[in-house]
Amino acid sequence: MEEYILLVDDETGILDMLEIVLKKEGFRNIKKAQSGKEAEKMIREFNPRLIVLDVMLPDVNGLEFCMELRKNSDVPVLFLTAKTSDYDKLTGFAMGGDDYITKPFNPMEVAARIKVQLKHQHMYSKTEHLNLLQFEDFTINKDSCEINRNGTVLDFTALEYSLLLYFAEHPNRIFTTAQLYENVWGQMNLGEEKTVVMHISRIRKKIEPEAEKPKYIHNIRGLGYKFIPHKKEAR
């Protein structure tokens, strides 16, 4: 089964430029759409492995498009936008985006970020041997790459899973946002602090009994973040 990357932007020049660069980087199955309606059709037909999505489309807001997509799919979404404020970036992550690149951009940077997303998606779907990390409020199943809480499998993106797993496998250590980005995203100087912070915020809402009073992922002021394991007691 072929795996496609879907590029969605109303500017033909941007689509063509990204297609050329991605093909030079070894990606062969690329589809292009210039509207939300066209993108919806291609998503149904080709089930893309990753979507590069412009925020301002002629018929729909890309943020709202992503929010609707998240109801049925966890496919990685990388936003492209001319909006550069922290508020706009945080909104993009809150709507379900996995990464955020502002225009104008270097197409090689887009290719690099796509590779990071696909790497983590591969890690997320890969199964090796049964390995459970059990905590008081949730369990990480490394065999199925699932987070389970109170008998329910939580909805995690590949990067959210990778970040939580990294914390869980390195308990009681303080990491700066730069270190987390380098170790989890696998790239240096391509992301911003807000990317890591927003992913941590989304994870807290899913695993913490009280997201406003974190039990597991603590912010150590001026230093970074630390995961404190509260192990589930054996019975």
Query: Per-10-residue mean pLDDT for the chain, 235 residues long?
Result: 83 94 92 95 92 93 90 88 73 83 88 86 54 90 88 90 94 93 77 83 94 94 92 57
pLDDT given for residue 188 in this prediction: 65
For residues 120 and 166, state if they share a domain.
no
For residues 116 and 132, membership in a common domain is answered with no
Question: Please, what sign has the CA dihedral across residues 206, 210, 216, 221?
Answer: positive
The parent domain of residue 160 ranges over 127-227
Question: What pLDDT score was predicted for residue 1?
Answer: 42
Structural domain count, the chain: 2
Q: Output the pLDDT for position 98.
A: 87
The CATH number of whichever domain residue 28 belongs to comes to 3.40.50.2300
Residue-level pLDDT at 129 = 41
Structural domain includes residue 164: yes
Same domain, yes or no, for 156 and 52? no
Give the CA count within 13 Å in the CB-facing half-sphere of 118.
15
Flag whether 54 is in a domain: yes
Do the beta carbons of residue 161 and residue 145 sit within 8 Å? yes
pLDDT at 189: 54
Q: Are residues 144 and 94 part of one domain?
A: no
Q: Is there a single domain that holds both residue 19 and residue 117?
A: yes
Cα distance between residue 26 and residue 13, in whole Å: 20
The answer to whether residue 67 is domain-embedded is yes
Give me the pLDDT at residue 38, please.
95
Place of tokens 């002021």: 221
Whether 131 and 110 map to the same domain: the answer is no
> Among 105, 124, 143, where does a domain finish?
124
In this structure, are 101 and 203 located in the same domain? no
Question: Residue 212: which residues within 8 A CB-CB, separation 6 or more?
Answer: none
Q: What residues contact residue 52 under an 8 Å CB cut-off, 6+ apart?
A: 5, 6, 7, 8, 9, 18, 78, 80, 110, 114
Q: Are strands 224-227 and 217-220 parallel, antiparallel or unpaired?
A: antiparallel
| pLDDT of 190 | 57
In this prediction, residue 161 carries a pLDDT of: 94
Give the model's pLDDT for residue 194: 83
Q: Does 63 reside within a domain?
A: yes
